[in-house]
């Protein structure tokens, strides 16, 4: 029986990796860290930011509010403070709908060929 390597899932990410995930610059993520009280990634001894999965989810939510929905920093901050659960719920619905749309487009493209 061949040896199976265990699947190792990464739990800590650097700011560069997070920036690549969302398609934004590292300086913008650092700026958001200063503007949003809830975004506080851990830092190592050298001062490098280390993002957990929860931090990444928050960065994606901030990206959605600021870049996709067009809210100001102040408006996004207020939305997260007042209606955090509702905002997260709406964001998850939007993500699911985008996935369904992408699947339907893929099916349409396959049928056209």
**Count of C-beta atoms within a 10 Å radius of residue 41:** 21
* Structure tokens that stand for 111 in this block: 């049928």
Going residue by residue through the chain, which has 113 residues, state the pLDDT in tens, using 9 for 90 and above: 677 777 777 788 999 999 999 999 999 999 999 999 889 999 999 989 999 999 999 999 999 999 988 989 999 888 888 877 788 888 888 889 988 999 999 999 888 87
Q: How large is the angle between the packed helices 26-35 and 15-22, nearest 10 degrees?
A: 100
Strands (E), 39-98: 42-43, 49-51
Phi/psi for 43 (5° steps) reads -130, 140
pLDDT of the residue at 1? 61
Q: Distance (Å, rounded) from C-alpha 27 to C-alpha 16?
A: 10
Domains of the chain: 13-82 (1.10.1660.10)
- pLDDT attached to residue 6: 74
**Residue among 79, 95, 106, 75 nearest 22 (CA):** 95
């Amino acid at each position: 029986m061949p040896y199976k390597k265990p699947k190792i899932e990464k739990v800590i990410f650097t700011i560069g990796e997070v920036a690549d995930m969302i398609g934004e610059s590292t300086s913008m993520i650092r700026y958001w860290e200063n503007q949003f009280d809830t975004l506080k990634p851990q830092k190592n001894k050298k001062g490098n930011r280390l993002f957990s999965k929860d931090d990444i989810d928050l960065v994606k939510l901030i990206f959605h509010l600021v870049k996709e929905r067009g809210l100001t920093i102040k408006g996004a901050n207020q939305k997260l403070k007042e209606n955090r659960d509702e905002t997260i719920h709406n964001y998850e619905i939007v993500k699911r709908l985008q996935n369904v749309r992408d699947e339907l487009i893929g099916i349409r493209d396959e049928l056209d060929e």
